[in-house]
């Protein structure tokens, strides 16, 4: 993937897309092969430049922490970003169970958008959201991606979504060297 | 012959009282579900969709206060009648995989209400229809993927033979193809004279498979419309929120609306969509907006025509 490139990865559920995302982010080690960023292996310590966001935000946060603590775990997102994400001040003192899925997902996105993030892997991140919340989140992510030159890997089974947000679409089954299907953004 | 109305909900409200604070989770909700139809209930997470299903099943937590009236085939639903009907006449396909017993093979969980031989055969046939291999019968819940678990839960509901089926987000985690397959089963279910309440945030799928769509927002019902009104630019829809929802889909413009849905603590008496509505006027903030019939559906908006 190029810097700032937005690649859609589509394929049936259970085909291994999520596992691939975990490997690309450095959460899982590959048994063979290698993931390189700028021709170097991913850093083993410190902030992960390749960040992963999941489909179920409620499984990605500690239920016993307040949102403020969860948000500031890796770095301190500034108010501008929180405003852009529609994160309201009152939400910060709440616990995860006191927020809806869409609200929680905004926190997970904020948390992953540290200044050192180069690539964001979005694993079905808006599958559980209503269309308006989905469009809101993608508007922000596209804006961030353009402003920072941050690449996006968009894992989804929603082709219409991939066509909206991606510069290129790849089918998972084609990843083992058989070639790629491309799509130019309107 | 006119199809019989199975479920009638009139002016349903649900409030929670905790530590002396009262919050309104659902208010003034009126809906019907008829034999032979799929009624989709759509809305953002936190709009009250699952709560509605739980209210119909009488599965709300103890600190919930329910007002309004719900009837099933003319019989009032309450603490006395619900336990008799639940699981037999009215059944839930749950959203969460935690509904399965972790210590029992899933096949047995699907057929345990029936006699073993018949149940096992029927379960095997259903599993096959859902693309689950026969070995899945002997597996434990932790061995299944999310999509597989959903298909198992679905088989259990189908096998129960209930007349009113509440499907709570049955499709996420399934591929489009499998989701359509599941929805075809819901349709078959409706064709046999049952009513299906399909609770989903997936507007696409709701419009594709339901007969009518009810749109919830901030704990209240804003519109019910024939599914075919969700078409083109949404001009046939009655409520500005439904139109926004429709036009936010990636294939319909992908237009976001700024702002958030008010949370239960911030709910107002007047129109809940007013802070975000492009069509609001001073009148909209004055008093509660009643739900009224309009063009073969219902709407809660003073300016809808
Ligand atoms: S009542 Fe007014 S604010 Fe509410 S949806 Fe209708 S036009 Fe918009």
- pLDDT-derived band of residue B243, with 50, 70 and 90 as boundaries? very high
Establish, for the pair of chains A and B, how many residue pairs have beta carbons separated by less than 8 Å. 82
* A152/A162 Cα distance (integer angstroms): 11
Alpha-carbon distance B152 to B126, whole Å?
9
Q: What is the CATH number of the domain that holds B245?
A: 3.40.50.300
ipTM surpasses cut 0.85? yes
Whether the CB of B199 sits within 6 Å of ligand 1: no
The pLDDT confidence band at residue A13, using thresholds 50, 70 and 90, is low
Which residues sit opposite B77 in a β-bridge? none
CB contact under 8 A, B250 and A160: yes
Residues forming a β-bridge with B16: B23, B64
Q: How far are the Cα atoms of A40, B94, B269 from residue B264, in angstroms, in the given order?
A: 49, 23, 12
pLDDT of A179 reads 47
Label residue A185 by pLDDT band (50, 70, 90). very low
Q: Is the pLDDT of residue B228 over 90?
A: yes
- Best residue among B279, B290, B291, B294 to mutate for probing ligand 1's pocket (most ligand atoms within 8 Å of CB) is B279
Range B50-79 average pLDDT: 92
pLDDT at B195 over 90: yes
How does pLDDT run across A134-183, given as a tens digit for each residue?
999 999 999 999 999 999 999 998 899 999 999 999 998 888 755 444 45
Query: Averaged over B225-244, what is the pLDDT?
Result: 97
Q: State the pLDDT at residue A17.
A: 86
Of B43, B175, B256, the CB nearest to A135: B256
Per residue in B3-28, pLDDT tens? 799 999 999 999 998 888 888 999 99
Query: Which residue's C-alpha comes closest to atom 6 of ligand 1?
Result: B301
Three-state DSSP state, B190: helix
Q: What is the whole-number distance in angstroms between the Cα of residue B215 and the centre of ligand 1?
A: 14
Beta bridge partners of A148: none
**∠ CA(A21), CA(A25), CA(A27), 5° rounding?**
95
B281 belongs to a structural domain? yes
Structure token digits, residue A152: 């996006």
pLDDT at B96: 62
- Mean pLDDT of all residues belonging to chain A: 89
The position carrying tokens 């509660």 is: B288
Q: Is the per-residue pLDDT at B305 higher than 60?
A: yes
What would the mean pLDDT of B102-131 be, rounded to a whole number?
85
Average of pLDDT values for A37-48? 90
Mean pLDDT is lowest, of A105-114, B184-193, B261-270, for B261-270
Reported as a single tens digit per residue, the pLDDT across B67-111 is 999 999 999 999 899 999 988 899 987 766 667 888 889 888 888
Q: Are B24 and B219 in contact (CB under 8 A)?
A: yes
Among candidates B176, B203, B260 on the partner chain, residue whose Cβ is nearest the Cβ of A131:
B203
Does a structural domain hold residue B264?
yes
What is the count of structural domains for chain B? 1
Contacts of the segment B111-120: beta carbons below 8 A, 24+ positions apart: B111/B159, B113/B159, B113/B160, B114/B159, B119/B159
Kindly indicate the confidence band of residue A101, based on its pLDDT and cuts at 50, 70 and 90.
confident
Say if ligand 1 is within 6 A of residue B303 CB.
yes
Nearest CA-CA distance, residue A54 and chain B, Å: 12
Give CA–CA dist A118/A149, Å, rounded: 8
Spatial separation of the C-alpha atoms in residues B168 and B22, rounded to whole Å = 26
pLDDT of residue B293: 96
A184–B contact, CB cutoff 8 A: no
- Domain assignment present for B257: yes
| B220 within a domain of the structure (yes/no) | yes
Instruction: Give the CATH number, domain containing residue A24.
Output: 3.40.50.300
Percent of chain B scoring above 90 in pLDDT: 54
B167 lies in some domain: yes
Across the range B224-237, mean pLDDT stands at 97
Strand order in the sheet with B64-72: B21-34, B5-18, B64-72, B75-76
Confidence of residue A184 (pLDDT cuts 50, 70, 90): very low
Mean pLDDT value across residues B230-258: 96
Of the pLDDT bands very low, low, confident and very high (cuts 50, 70, 90), residue B115 is confident
> Is B65 a domain residue?
no
Confidence of residue B170 (pLDDT cuts 50, 70, 90): confident
Number of structural domains (chain A) is 1
> CB distance B248–A134 less than 8 Å?
yes
Q: Provide the pLDDT for residue B164.
A: 94
Residue B240 lies in a domain: yes
Q: Is B263 contained in some domain?
A: yes
Q: Which residue has the higher pLDDT, A96 or B1?
A: A96
CA B272/CA B35 separation, integer angstroms = 32
Residue B174 has pLDDT above 60, yes or no: yes
Interface contact A136-B258, CB threshold 8 A? yes
Closest by CA to B254, choosing from A124, A164, A157, A155, is A164
Residue from B243, B278, B289 to probe ligand 1 pocket by mutation (most atoms less than 8 Å from CB): B289
Residue in B45, B174, B250 nearest the CB of A158: B250
> Cα(B115)–Cα(B32) distance, rounded to whole angstroms?
35
The answer to whether the beta carbons of residues A53 and A122 sit under 8 Å apart is yes
The pLDDT-based confidence of B171 (bands split at 50, 70, 90) is: confident
φ, ψ dihedrals at B68, nearest 5°:
100, -170
Note the pLDDT of residue A115.
92
Q: Which domain holds residue A79?
A: 6-168
CA angle centred on A118, ends A117 and A124, rounded to 5°? 80
**pLDDT, average across residues B153-170:** 84
How high is the mean pLDDT of chain B? 89
Q: What is the pLDDT of residue B173?
A: 60
More confident: B155 or A179: B155
């Amino acid at each position: 993937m190029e810097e700032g490139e937005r690649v859609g990865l589509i394929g049936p559920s259970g085909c291994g897309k999520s596992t691939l995302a975990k490997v690309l982010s450095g959460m899982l080690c590959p048994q063979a092969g290698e993931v390189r960023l700028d021709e170097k292996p991913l850093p083993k310590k410190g902030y992960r430049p390749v960040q992963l966001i999941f489909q179920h935000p409620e499984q990605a946060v500690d239920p016993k922490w307040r949102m403020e603590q969860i948000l500031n775990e890796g770095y301190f997102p500034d108010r501008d970003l929180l405003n852009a994400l529609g994160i309201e001040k009152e939400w910060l003192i709440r616990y995860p169970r006191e927020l809806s899925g869409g609200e929680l997902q905004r926190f997970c996105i904020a948390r992953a958008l540290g200044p050192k993030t180069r690539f964001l892997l979005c694993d079905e991140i808006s599958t559980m959201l209503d269309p308006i919340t989905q469009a809101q989140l993608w508007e922000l992510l596209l804006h961030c991606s353009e402003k920072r030159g941050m690449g996006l890997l968009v894992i989804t089974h929603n082709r219409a979504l991939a066509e909206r947000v991606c510069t290129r679409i790849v089918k998972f089954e084609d990843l083992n060297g058989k070639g790629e299907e491309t799509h130019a953004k309107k | 012959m006119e199809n019989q109305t199975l479920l009638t909900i009139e002016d349903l409200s649900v409030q929670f009282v905790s530590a002396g604070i009262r919050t309104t989770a659902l208010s003034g909700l009126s809906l019907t579900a008829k034999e032979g139809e799929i009624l989709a209930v759509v809305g953002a997470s936190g709009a009250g969709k699952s709560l509605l299903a739980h209210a119909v099943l009488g599965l709300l937590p103890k600190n919930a206060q329910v007002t309004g009236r719900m009837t099933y085939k003319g019989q009032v639903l309450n603490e006395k009648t619900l336990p008799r009907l639940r699981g037999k006449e009215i059944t839930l396909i749950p959203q969460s995989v935690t509904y399965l017993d972790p210590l029992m093979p899933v096949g047995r969980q699907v057929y345990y209400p029936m006699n073993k031989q018949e149940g096992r055969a029927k379960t095997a046939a259903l599993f096959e229809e859902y693309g689950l291999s026969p070995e899945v019968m002997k597996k434990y819940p932790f061995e299944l993927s999310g999509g597989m678990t959903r298909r198992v839960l679905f088989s259990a509901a189908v096998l129960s033979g209930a007349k009113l089926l509440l499907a709570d987000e049955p499709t996420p985690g399934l591929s489009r193809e499998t989701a359509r397959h599941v929805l075809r089963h819901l349709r078959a279910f409706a064709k046999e004279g049952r009513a299906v309440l399909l609770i989903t945030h997936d507007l696409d799928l709701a419009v594709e498979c339901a007969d009518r769509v009810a749109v919830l927002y901030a704990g209240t019902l804003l519109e019910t419309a024939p599914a075919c009104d969700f078409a083109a630019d949404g001009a046939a829809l009655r409520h500005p929120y439904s139109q926004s929802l429709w036009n936010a889909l990636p294939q319909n413009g992908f237009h976001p609306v700024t702002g958030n849905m008010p949370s239960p603590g911030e709910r107002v008496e007047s129109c809940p969509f007013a802070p975000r509505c492009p069509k609001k006027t001073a009148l909209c903030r004055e008093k509660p907006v009643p739900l009224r019939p309009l063009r073969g559906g219902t709407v809660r908006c003073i300016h809808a025509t």
